[in-house]
Structure 1
Amino acid sequence: MGGIGSGDIDFFVRSTLVINAGLGLNRTPVLLNPPIDLAAVGQRYIHNPGAFDADGDSLAYRLIEPQRSQTPGQGVNITSYVQPNLVPPFGNIEGGSSPSTFTLDSITGDLVWDAPAKTGFYNVAFVVEEWRNGVLIGEIVRDMQIIVIDSPNDRPKLAAIPDLCVEAGTLVQQSITATDPNGDILTLTSNSGVYLPDLVPVQNAQFSVTNSNNPGQVTGVFRWQTGCDHIRLEPYDVLVKVEDGPAPTRPNPSLFRKLVDIRTFKIRVYGPKPQNLRAEPVADAADRAFRLTWSSYRCQVPGAQIAIYRKVGCSDFDAGACQPGLPLGLGYEEIARVGVGETFYLDSNAGQGLQPGVNYSYRIVTLFPRRGTTPNEPGRLNGGGSSLPSAEFCADLPQLAPLITNVTVDSTSQSKGVITVRWTRPAGALPGLVAQYRLLRATGLDGTDFTQVASINTTFQPNVADTLFVDRSLNTEQNAYRYKIDYYVTTNGTLGKLDESQPASSVRLAQVGGANNQVRLTWTANVPWKNTDRIHRVYREERGRPGVFNRIADVPVQDVQSFTFTDDGTDRYTADGTTSLTLSPDSTYCYKVETVGAYESARLQSLTLYNFSQILCASPSDTTRPCAPLLAIDTLDCSKLSPDAFCNPSTFTNNLSWTLSTSNPAICNPNVVAYRVYYARYTDENPAFLASVTAPVPPAMAYAHIGLNSFAGCYYVTAVNRFGVESAPSNTVCKDNCPQYALPNVFTPNKDGKNDSFTPLNCPEFLDKTEFTVFNRWGVKVFETIDLGINWDGRSSAGQDLPAGQYFYEAKVRFQSVQRDAEPLAFKGWVQLLR
Structure 2
Amino acid sequence: MQTSTSMRFVYSIGIWGLLLGAILCPTISQASHVRAGEITTKRISQTSLTYLITFTAYYDETPAGKQAANLAEPYTFCFGDGNTLSVKRSSRVYINSQTSSVNSYTAIHTYSGPGTYTIGITVPLRNRNTNNLPAPSDAIRFFVSTTILINAALLTNSTPIMLNPPLDSGRVGQKFCHNPAAFDADGDSLAYRLSVPQTSLTDDGCIGRAITGYQDPTRFSTSSESGGTPTFSINPITGELCWDAPGEAGQFNFAFIIEEWRNGVLIGEITRDMQIFIVDSPNKRPLLAPIPDLCVEAGTLIQQPVTATDPDGQRVIIAGFGGVFNVGQDGAPLAPGELIQPAYAQLINGGVAQAQPATVTFRWQTNCNQLRDAPYDVTFKVTDVPPNRIPTLTSFQTFRITLVGPAVKNLTTKAVTGPNGRAVQLNWDPYTCSPSQASNPTKLAVYRTEGCTPPNIGSCVTGVPAGYTKIAELPVSATTFTDTSTLKRGVSYGYLMVAIYPDINGGFNGGVSKASNLACLELPLLAPVITQVTVDSTHATRGQITVRWTRPLGLAPGDLPGPYQYRLQRATGLNGTDFTPIAAINTSLLASAPDTLFIDKGTSASALNTDANAYRYRLEFYYTLNGQLTRLDLTEPASSVRLTANPVNRQITLSWQANVPWSNDNKVHDVYRSRSGPNGPFNKIAELPVTSPGSYTFTDDGTDRFVADGNTSRSLSADSSYCYRVMTRGQYTDIQLARLGVLLNYSQISCASPSDTTKPCPPALSVEALDCAALSSEALCDQSSFTNKLSWQPTSSPSCDANLVGYRIYYGRYPTDSLTQISAVSVPTTRFEHSSLTTVAGCYYVTAVSRRGLESGPSNKVCVDACPSFLLPNVFTPNGDGKNDVFQPLKCPRFVEQVTFVVYNRWGAKVYESVGSSLSWDGRSSDGVELPTGLYYYQATVRYALLDRNAPPQVLKGWVQILREGISMK
Q: Distance in 1 between matches of 2:325 and 2:377?
A: 11
Alpha-carbon distance change, 606 to 669 in structure 1, aligned in 2, over 3 angstroms:
farther
Question: Structure 1 residue 440: deviation in Å?
Answer: 2.4
**1:128 alignment partner, SS class:** strand
Structure-1 residue corresponding to 2:454: 316
**1:561 alignment partner, SS class:** coil
Alpha-carbon distance change, 612 to 296 in structure 1, aligned in 2, over 3 angstroms:
same
Question: Structure 1 residue 108: deviation in Å?
Answer: 0.8
Alpha-carbon distance change, 480 to 372 in structure 1, aligned in 2, over 3 angstroms:
closer
Select which of 500, 521, 531 maps to 1:367: 500
Q: Distance in 1 between matches of 2:481 and 2:263?
A: 29
1:87-130 deviation digits (Å, cap 9, x = unpaired): x55543333242x4322222211122222333333223333344
Letter in 2 for 1:309: Y
Alpha-carbon distance change, 624 to 371 in structure 1, aligned in 2, over 3 angstroms:
closer
Long gaps (5+) in structure 2? 1-130, 327-332, 760-796, 804-970
Question: Are 2:280 and 1:150 equivalent residues in the alignment?
Answer: yes
Long gaps (5+) in structure 1? 248-252, 374-380, 573-577, 629-663, 671-835
**2:695 alignment partner, SS class:** helix
Structure-2 residue corresponding to 1:472: 601
Letter in 2 for 1:77: R
Assess if the C-alpha contact under 8 Å between 2:199 and 2:211 holds in 1: no
Question: Are 2:226 and 1:95 equivalent residues in the alignment?
Answer: yes
Alpha-carbon distance change, 151 to 485 in structure 1, aligned in 2, over 3 angstroms:
same
Select which of 480, 483, 503 maps to 1:344: 480
Assess if the C-alpha contact under 8 Å between 2:172 and 2:248 holds in 1: yes
Structure-1 residue corresponding to 2:739: 606
Structure-2 residue corresponding to 1:141: 271
Q: Distance in 1 between matches of 2:687 and 2:482?
A: 44
Assess if the C-alpha contact under 8 Å between 2:642 and 2:747 holds in 1: yes
Q: Distance in 2 between matches of 1:400 and 1:324?
A: 38
Structure-2 residue corresponding to 1:272: 406
Alpha-carbon distance change, 478 to 371 in structure 1, aligned in 2, over 3 angstroms:
closer
Select which of 427, 448, 454 maps to 1:293: 427
Q: Distance in 2 between matches of 1:534 and 1:393?
A: 31
Structure-2 residue corresponding to 1:74: 206
**1:194 alignment partner, SS class:** helix
Question: Structure 1 residue 407: deviation in Å?
Answer: 0.9
Q: Distance in 2 between matches of 1:135 and 1:472?
A: 67
Q: How does 1:686-835 map to 2 (within 5 A)?
A: none
Q: Distance in 2 between matches of 1:108 and 1:192?
A: 12
Question: Are 2:343 and 1:202 equivalent residues in the alignment?
Answer: yes
Q: How does 1:584-595 map to 2 (within 5 A)?
A: 593-595=726-728
Structure-2 residue corresponding to 1:63: 194
1:570-623 deviation digits (Å, cap 9, x = unpaired): 768xxxxx645464569999875443323334543322363332575989xx76
Q: Distance in 1 between matches of 2:636 and 2:353?
A: 76
Q: Distance in 2 between matches of 1:53 and 1:669?
A: 82
Assess if the C-alpha contact under 8 Å between 2:653 and 2:697 holds in 1: no
Question: Structure 1 residue 436: deviation in Å?
Answer: 7.5
Q: How does 1:12-27 map to 2 (within 5 A)?
A: 12-14=143-145, 20=151, 22-26=153-157
Select which of 34, 42, 46 maps to 2:165: 34
Alpha-carbon distance change, 116 to 460 in structure 1, aligned in 2, over 3 angstroms:
same
Assess if the C-alpha contact under 8 Å between 1:32 and 1:49 holds in 2: yes
Q: Distance in 2 between matches of 1:538 and 1:456?
A: 35
Question: Structure 1 residue 73: deviation in Å?
Answer: 7.9
What is the TM-score with the length of structure 2 in the denominator? 0.53
Select which of 446, 454, 459 maps to 2:582: 454
Letter in 2 for 1:115: A
Question: Structure 1 residue 178: deviation in Å?
Answer: 3.6
Q: Distance in 1 between matches of 2:570 and 2:323?
A: 70
Assess if the C-alpha contact under 8 Å between 1:624 and 1:669 holds in 2: no
Q: How does 1:580-729 map to 2 (within 5 A)?
A: 580-581=710-711, 583=713, 593-608=726-741, 610-614=743-747
Structure-1 residue corresponding to 2:531: 405
What is the TM-score with the length of structure 1 in the denominator? 0.60
Assess if the C-alpha contact under 8 Å between 1:39 and 1:259 holds in 2: yes
Assess if the C-alpha contact under 8 Å between 1:588 and 1:617 holds in 2: no
Structure-2 residue corresponding to 1:391: 517
Question: Structure 1 residue 342: deviation in Å?
Answer: 1.9
Alpha-carbon distance change, 235 to 413 in structure 1, aligned in 2, over 3 angstroms:
same
Q: Distance in 1 between matches of 2:347 and 2:144?
A: 33
Aligned length: 602
Question: Are 2:382 and 1:242 equivalent residues in the alignment?
Answer: yes
Assess if the C-alpha contact under 8 Å between 1:161 and 1:176 holds in 2: yes
Assess if the C-alpha contact under 8 Å between 2:345 and 2:362 holds in 1: no
Q: Distance in 2 between matches of 1:274 and 1:520?
A: 53
Alpha-carbon distance change, 430 to 81 in structure 1, aligned in 2, over 3 angstroms:
farther
Assess if the C-alpha contact under 8 Å between 2:538 and 2:611 holds in 1: no
Question: Structure 1 residue 472: deviation in Å?
Answer: 1.6
Q: Which has the larger radius of gyration?
A: 2
Assess if the C-alpha contact under 8 Å between 2:318 and 2:352 holds in 1: no
Question: Are 2:638 and 1:504 equivalent residues in the alignment?
Answer: yes
Letter in 1 for 2:546: T
1:16-55 deviation digits (Å, cap 9, x = unpaired): 6655554454455332211222223332211111122344
**2:254 alignment partner, SS class:** strand
Question: Are 2:455 and 1:331 equivalent residues in the alignment?
Answer: no
**1:531 alignment partner, SS class:** coil
**1:604 alignment partner, SS class:** helix
Q: Distance in 2 between matches of 1:665 and 1:494?
A: 76
Question: Structure 1 residue 402: deviation in Å?
Answer: 6.4
Assess if the C-alpha contact under 8 Å between 2:567 and 2:581 holds in 1: no
Letter in 1 for 2:291: I
Question: Are 2:244 and 1:114 equivalent residues in the alignment?
Answer: yes
Q: Distance in 2 between matches of 1:101 and 1:39?
A: 15
Assess if the C-alpha contact under 8 Å between 1:362 and 1:393 holds in 2: yes
Assess if the C-alpha contact under 8 Å between 1:210 and 1:220 holds in 2: no
Assess if the C-alpha contact under 8 Å between 1:411 and 1:476 holds in 2: no
Q: Distance in 1 between matches of 2:523 and 2:516?
A: 21
Letter in 2 for 1:194: V
Alpha-carbon distance change, 71 to 531 in structure 1, aligned in 2, over 3 angstroms:
same
Alpha-carbon distance change, 601 to 430 in structure 1, aligned in 2, over 3 angstroms:
farther
Assess if the C-alpha contact under 8 Å between 1:424 and 1:466 holds in 2: no
Question: Are 2:660 and 1:527 equivalent residues in the alignment?
Answer: yes
Alpha-carbon distance change, 466 to 30 in structure 1, aligned in 2, over 3 angstroms:
farther
1:455-499 deviation digits (Å, cap 9, x = unpaired): 427588787876443222677773452123485989999999998
Letter in 2 for 1:600: T
**2:378 alignment partner, SS class:** strand
